[in-house]
Structure 1
Amino acid sequence: MRGLAPEAGAPRAALGVCAAALVVVVLIGLSQPDPAAKTTAMAVYVTGLASALLTLRWRLRRTPPATPDHQLWANLGRALVAGVLAVVVIVVGNATGGAGTWVPPTLASLMLLGVALNYLGVIRWTSPTEHRARVDPDHLVNAVCCALVLVAGALLAASAWTGDQRLLHDSRFPLLVQAACSLVEAAVMAGTTRGWARRGDLRPVVLTAALLAGMGINLTLLVVRDPSGLLPWALLPHGVWAAALALCALLPQVAHPRDRHDVAVSSTSGFAVVVLALPVAAVAAQRGLGVVAVLATAALLGSATRLLLDVRELRQVLLERRASLVDDLTSLSSRRGIHAVLERALSEQRPLVVAVLDLNRFKDVNDALGHAAGDQLLRTVAARLRSLLLPGEVAGRLGGDEFVVVAPCCSPTTPQERAAELGAAITCQLSAPAPLGALVVQVEASTGTSTWQPPSSPAAPEDDDGDAGSLAARLLRAADAAMYDAKRSGGGWVPHDAARHDDTAGQLALATDLRAALVTGQLLLHHQPQVRADSGTPVGVEALVRWQHPRLGLLGPECFLDLAETHGLMGLLTEEVLRLGVAQQGAWRRDGLLTRLSLNLPASALHDLDLPRRVDALLLEHGVPGSSLVLEVTESVLLRDPERSRTVVQALRGSGVRVSIDDFGTGHSSLARLQGLAVDELKLDATFTGELLVDERSRTIVAGTVAMAHALGLSVVAEGVEDDATLGALRELGCDEAQGYFVARPMPAAQLPVWWRERGGPIGCLPAAGAEGDGSTGRSLVHEH
């Protein structure tokens, strides 16, 4: 036989014996057998069963233990043993004269036992890996109940048709049970193994065909044979099944993905059994068919119990789903709950406002006070959001420190009006100090809003063409984009503007490219020289980052710095710029250029206590002294967390690194407050130098700033010098250094040595790193002057 296991010589012979036994039983049945021939047929039949059992045992010994296939063959073998016991019952019944009393019910019970054992094998065969060692009761219970109700219904119909109420003890009763069991087994076998034949596994096909053939034989015997002539034909269905099992044991074993059984299957079949069993039990009880009523009632109780278990599972699922819609920490709606609220409101065609807000500097609270304080702050924010809600509005937590408000609007309020109200209310409420135990912290938030009106509205958006789910996602993305715009602006509320915020796909692709650029060396630095205001002698350069994009060409910092901040790449970007800048400084030193390099740091850098160590390591690696490095930061960064900033600044200056305050005058500080920060340099913002010649107030501010900075021991660098007159005015006011397009435009590192030597910049040998203090600069990566 092609396709069978090549090493199965003895099992093939056993399969041949089983098939031959079936042929002999058929021939005996066709010869109108006498009692002696029937006995011979039963002996041959037992020989065939024994041969099939030997084949199954051979397969069992070659199947690894604790696998679904091992459980399959073990239980199918036990089912065959139940068949052998059935033959013993027939022999004993014929010998003792009990063939019409206790033999039919006993045979039926053994057949039901065989069904249960077959199911234990099949269910474990098709169960997922994590359920191999357990029995899924759904199909087993439903199979037995289906068989019981089919038998009870058939007995009821037969008794009504023939008027005979003793069919339970008739020799046709086991045939009826076997037909019902075969039908149910074939249905479940086909349902649980659908698609296996396409993967080359013919075993379920063979077993299903054997079950259907056995059912056909049983039904034929019930219709065309009289009770006295059933043997040996009654042996055939079980014999066909045994031969099919022996054949399957020799077929190749095919691995399959294990699928969980769908509870809907057990629930549907259980409900069908209840519907059928109720009238059968009632009619059987009315006609005095006690055993039939008991069978139907057993099926009814079994399926009802299974349905109750399903209801309990469904209730648990509903509870878990409800819990998944609520955030555990704040008791607001979860992300899933917010999506459900949004989709429901959109399906009702109600005008909507979606507000997404993110807490500013929440990480600082977690880092400084611990996660317990952070959780308390989140609960405080949740309580404040609830106080802002109107009836029908819902607040939720999207995750971390990000919250959302969904506000359906009622006439006459328009979504735009409600968005403005919400934005102002959230900004006001969350700006109030929040008590955290013995401490009080200032809470601020960045809020973005998006709005939606039904298509019938005159102001309906043009892109309102998706279903509720996709539209809900677009509204959240729009509010999120506006929120990040507000965060970049320092907080507050920003409404969604399609012209500014709707390049989501392009920005996401660019962010992916930027992440790759940081590890493939696509970033580079251009350098803008700085000169002494009095003599024009070069004293240093400011490094400005560029991105050599493989497709878009050379990109300036304005194209990707906000993107890096939004997608959490600013830390990696800062490390790469520091590495490139210090490495270039080391190369210039080796060529004899006595440059001073300024580098910009983002807002979060001076809150990183490990920054000084990493800067020291870079300086040491490239042989650069700290005094030739300046790190530039904005004044708002220094004043946001003064204690931590002071610690980092002192550690940097201890290594010789200079610290400069960039864009000075655009924040909310004063020189008096800056006195305690121990910085080295101020950089005047270009808004002051650009108005120096035309605005006397600007000239007065610059003069006062220079005088007070010198009094505090700070040097002053003016940005944005565009002409010689402005440079002369700065020189008159005592400004120390200047940079801008009048001095030089940013240039690649390779061009700087020529420019430096032409302008008389200092050249010579610098002391080795460590001979003097380290230095690091923080120039803005965005602005160039």
Structure 2
Amino acid sequence: MTRHPAPAAARRGPVASEDALWRWVRRALWTLAVGTTLTLVLAQAAGSDTPAGSAAALSSVLAAACLYQGLLAWNRDSSAVADPGDHLNGLSGTLALAALVNLLLLHVDGRVVGPVEQLAVLQISALVIVLGSTLTVASLAALTRDPRPWVMSLGVAGAGVAAGWQLAGTGGGPSPTLGLVSTATFGLGLGAARLLPAARTTTQIVTPQSAVVGALVVLSAAMTALVVATRFPPDRTTTVVAFAVAAVAGVSTRAATTIRDLASLAQRRVEALTDDLTGLANRRALNQRLAEVTRTREPTALLLLDLDRFKKLNDRHGHEAGDRLLARVGRVLNDVVPGAALAARLGGDEFAVLVGDPDQAHAVDLAARVRTDVATELLRAAELLGPGSRVDVDLSVGVAWSGRHQHTDLLRRADVAMYAAKATGAGVAVFDPESDRSHQERLALTEDLRLAFETGALPFEVHYQPQVGLDDGSVRGLEALVRWRHPRRGPVPPVEFLTLVENLGRMPDLTVFVLATASRDLSRFPPTGPGGTGRRPRMSVNLSAGCLSDPGLPAALLAALAPGAVAGDIVLEVTETTLMADADLALAVCSSLVVAGFELSIDDYGTGYSSLSYLNDLPAHELKIDRSFCARVVEDPRVATIVAATVDLAHRLGLRVVAEGAEDTVVVEALRLLGCDLVQGFALTPALPVVELLDWVRARQPGPRELVGRAAADVVGPGRPDRPGGR
């Protein structure tokens, strides 16, 4: 509960957040009222003053207990401190003070206080403890300008003086007259405080050390009473010893509670700085150490580690297997990292190592050693995933070094280096300013893409590159290639923004967008063949590795088809790289796509290592010879032989052959002579928007022998993308 300041300079009467205080004050006032009434009744009816005086003293003790409870609530509300041990402090303090009062009376006039007079002793002790508590609350809660605690204190002090006068000035039991004065003074102080205005205050955040200090004071007082009691005969200090021992027991219980709370707090602090899964330090612990390093300007290296393709492992094998893998990575870091360094898991599959090392080369060596050991452990961890499984996860490490004057932003610079390591595939990269500029641009583009996908307002265009038949020159196919013209940067290369889309995990969404757009535009193209009697061109759309890891892909693509389009119009292109990420799952998804009616094309054929096995396993309809072969088919007889053999093999398997990347008319003619079925490339036209490509198609009147010459005239000059489409 927090005490809110009054909206004006002061408010009359109780403040809403102080309800607990005034509830206990009302109880104290009722107790005093009952005690006063009982005192008057007993004074009239009894022949002795003792019962009446005792009633007044007892009501003051009970009212003091009520007020003490209210003061605890006030302290909690005004200073944001709640200490359940304060009750023991108050009770123990009252008993310890009662023991000292008994000793004082014994020392001054040798009086041994009897049972009836002990009520007056307890009354005085309780009022002194309440008076001290009121002043303490006023100090801790910044209430020194609030008149209410001071009026309370005056009432309590007046009641205490009256009770002390009665105890010091009489040799008998409590006096009803002085008892009435005491209770009246006490009640007036509380009543006046309740009616006074509340001054403006602010909530104070303080440590609970005041309660600990109070416990030590009470313990010292009780021990002092026990020590001093040894100077008197034992039969005269029985009450003193009883009160002091009870006080020691109470405050010792309070101390035991404090020790237990401190131990629990220490344990919670350790847990707050520890990652539950790996046992390493967590992000909070790393931030604390980074702050310390920044303050001391100690030369420091920060290694930021991220597991590549970890999400795919989680998706395929489940989060439990992923957690076991992360735990093993944590054990490797614990073993490899030097004792003085800090290894931490920042969350997900991201780790960090902070090394106090002035030598940057040592940090780079440590990064390489960590990467090697983690890779070895990942190979061993394949057994966690079941027989025949493999862990297709790697580690990228970014290194940033603070030097002596570059401590700020160390974590961000390590993050930049880590992404550079991912982008280059080097595994380990060291921060440099040029990478930082590129990283900032990449972050800005990533944020633009994230917002675009979240809002559904995708900023992409789809261009198309034709695939022309080498027998009659007709347009038989189109490849859909996505483009992004950024409002600030202009055209963004596909190879750049497609990587960002893949990292965002949005490639399936982009594929659905391209397919929906392409299938809608396909209806605008006329049928191919003489006189327009044939079928419309097929539409080719690329699939990424992220798409082929989604068993729900066939249904999503079918749902994305434009009205009037059918799955048989669409050719889905896959590369060996996309299949290798998770071969079993990718082949299963490809088979489902064929069952759904789509055609499959093996793209970039000839650049991988296992293409022959994919020719056998993949239910493909088409094979695309990679541009690296087409570019050399004229000048290198060995390449021409490989292309001819590939074409023959594909035809024997019932596949049509598309040669991509044809750069000039000579290459087009050579590919025709080698038996290729279709060709695409800049020798014909680059990828164009649908309207421009339709104009290009209408302007052509190709025949089998006119294709080469016509293609040469259609070439659009330099300034083409590094790959005709990238996607």
Question: What's the TM-score once normalised by structure 2's chain length?
Answer: 0.76
Distance in 1, matches of 2:97 and 2:438, equals 64
Q: CA deviation at 1:358?
A: 0.8
Does 1:301 find its partner at 2:301? no
Q: CA deviation at 1:611?
A: 0.7
- Worse overlay, 543-552 or 675-684: 543-552
The aligned amino acid for 2:504 is: H
The aligned amino acid for 1:681 is: E
Distance in 1, matches of 2:105 and 2:291, equals 56
SS at match of 1:649: helix
Distance in 2, matches of 1:115 and 1:718, equals 98
Within-5 A mapping of 1:715-730: 715-730=656-671
Within-5 A mapping of 1:555-594: 555-585=492-522, 594=536
Output one character per residue of 1:589-624: Cα deviation in whole Å (capped at 9) or x when no partner. Answer: 89x9934322222212112111111111222x5221
Asked if the contact 1:653–1:659 (Cα under 8 Å) also holds between the matched residues in 2, the reply is yes
Asked if the contact 2:143–2:149 (Cα under 8 Å) also holds between the matched residues in 1, the reply is no
* Match of residue 736, structure 1, among 660, 677, 682: 677
Aligned to 1:756: 697
* Match of residue 273, structure 1, among 195, 204, 218: 218
Asked if the contact 2:223–2:248 (Cα under 8 Å) also holds between the matched residues in 1, the reply is yes
Does 1:627 find its partner at 2:607? no
Aligned to 2:365: 417
* Aligned CA distance change for structure 1 residues 190 and 682 (closer, same or farther; 3 Å): farther
Distance in 2, matches of 1:715 and 1:126, equals 85
Q: CA deviation at 1:295?
A: 4.5
SS at match of 2:382: strand
SS at match of 2:545: coil
* Match of residue 649, structure 1, among 590, 595, 609: 590
The aligned amino acid for 1:689 is: C
Asked if the contact 1:80–1:114 (Cα under 8 Å) also holds between the matched residues in 2, the reply is yes
Aligned to 2:547: 605
Asked if the contact 2:507–2:547 (Cα under 8 Å) also holds between the matched residues in 1, the reply is no
Aligned to 2:451: 516
Aligned to 1:116: 65
Output one character per residue of 1:103-157: Cα deviation in whole Å (capped at 9) or x when no partner. Answer: 46x75554343343335456567879xx9xxx96334333444555566667767
Q: CA deviation at 1:321?
A: 3.5
Q: CA deviation at 1:305?
A: 1.9
The aligned amino acid for 1:610 is: G
Asked if the contact 1:659–1:679 (Cα under 8 Å) also holds between the matched residues in 2, the reply is yes
Aligned to 2:607: 666
Aligned to 1:530: 466
- Worse overlay, 310-319 or 217-226: 217-226
The aligned amino acid for 2:65 is: A
Q: RMSD of aligned C-alpha atoms?
A: 4.8
Within-5 A mapping of 1:337-352: 349=298, 351-352=300-301
Q: CA deviation at 1:517?
A: 1.2
Asked if the contact 1:358–1:483 (Cα under 8 Å) also holds between the matched residues in 2, the reply is no
* Match of residue 426, structure 1, among 344, 365, 374: 374
Within-5 A mapping of 1:91-130: 91=40, 103=53, 110-121=59-70
* Aligned CA distance change for structure 1 residues 319 and 345 (closer, same or farther; 3 Å): same
Q: CA deviation at 1:308?
A: 1.7
Output one character per residue of 1:187-208: Cα deviation in whole Å (capped at 9) or x when no partner. Answer: 336746969x9xxxxxxx5642
Aligned length: 673
Distance in 2, matches of 1:406 and 1:738, equals 55
Aligned to 1:639: 580
Q: What is the identity percentage for the equivalent residue pairs of Structure 1 and Structure 2?
A: 28
Asked if the contact 2:332–2:373 (Cα under 8 Å) also holds between the matched residues in 1, the reply is no
Aligned to 2:174: none
Segments of 5+ residues of structure 1 without an aligned counterpart are 1-11, 16-55, 198-204, 457-461, 763-778
Distance in 1, matches of 2:353 and 2:559, equals 47
SS at match of 1:560: helix
Asked if the contact 1:539–1:596 (Cα under 8 Å) also holds between the matched residues in 2, the reply is yes
Aligned to 2:270: 322
Asked if the contact 1:398–1:404 (Cα under 8 Å) also holds between the matched residues in 2, the reply is yes
Distance in 2, matches of 1:271 and 1:565, equals 64
Asked if the contact 2:463–2:480 (Cα under 8 Å) also holds between the matched residues in 1, the reply is yes
SS at match of 1:612: helix
The aligned amino acid for 2:507 is: M
- Worse overlay, 534-543 or 239-248: 239-248
* Aligned CA distance change for structure 1 residues 211 and 233 (closer, same or farther; 3 Å): same
Q: CA deviation at 1:281?
A: 4.7
- Worse overlay, 520-529 or 237-246: 237-246
The aligned amino acid for 2:406 is: D
* Aligned CA distance change for structure 1 residues 208 and 479 (closer, same or farther; 3 Å): farther
* Match of residue 28, structure 2, among 55, 79, 85: 79
Does 1:680 find its partner at 2:621? yes
Within-5 A mapping of 1:277-292: 277-283=222-228, 286=231, 291=239
Distance in 2, matches of 1:93 and 1:756, equals 118
Distance in 2, matches of 1:541 and 1:437, equals 42
Aligned to 1:5: none
* Aligned CA distance change for structure 1 residues 532 and 172 (closer, same or farther; 3 Å): closer
Within-5 A mapping of 1:36-55: none
Asked if the contact 2:120–2:163 (Cα under 8 Å) also holds between the matched residues in 1, the reply is no
SS at match of 1:656: coil
Distance in 1, matches of 2:76 and 2:119, equals 39
Does 1:137 find its partner at 2:84? yes
Distance in 1, matches of 2:85 and 2:64, equals 14
Does 1:481 find its partner at 2:419? yes
Q: CA deviation at 1:356?
A: 0.9
Asked if the contact 2:573–2:603 (Cα under 8 Å) also holds between the matched residues in 1, the reply is yes
The aligned amino acid for 2:224 is: P
Asked if the contact 1:179–1:214 (Cα under 8 Å) also holds between the matched residues in 2, the reply is no
Distance in 2, matches of 1:573 and 1:265, equals 62
Distance in 1, matches of 2:670 and 2:289, equals 62
Within-5 A mapping of 1:534-549: 534=470, 535-549=472-486
Distance in 1, matches of 2:673 and 2:416, equals 51
* Aligned CA distance change for structure 1 residues 476 and 353 (closer, same or farther; 3 Å): closer
Output one character per residue of 1:406-453: Cα deviation in whole Å (capped at 9) or x when no partner. Answer: 566598972223323333443344345722375142224332334455
Does 1:240 find its partner at 2:177? no
SS at match of 1:513: helix
* Aligned CA distance change for structure 1 residues 661 and 181 (closer, same or farther; 3 Å): same
The aligned amino acid for 2:88 is: V
Output one character per residue of 1:489-514: Cα deviation in whole Å (capped at 9) or x when no partner. Answer: 4x854554543256655544433322
Distance in 1, matches of 2:373 and 2:574, equals 32
Q: CA deviation at 1:661?
A: 2.7
Segments of 5+ residues of structure 2 without an aligned counterpart are 1-11, 171-176, 704-720
Distance in 2, matches of 1:232 and 1:110, equals 10
SS at match of 1:485: helix
* Aligned CA distance change for structure 1 residues 237 and 298 (closer, same or farther; 3 Å): farther
The aligned amino acid for 2:419 is: A
Q: CA deviation at 1:184?
A: 0.7
Aligned to 1:614: 556
* Match of residue 211, structure 1, among 152, 160, 165: 152
The aligned amino acid for 1:511 is: T
* Aligned CA distance change for structure 1 residues 124 and 166 (closer, same or farther; 3 Å): closer
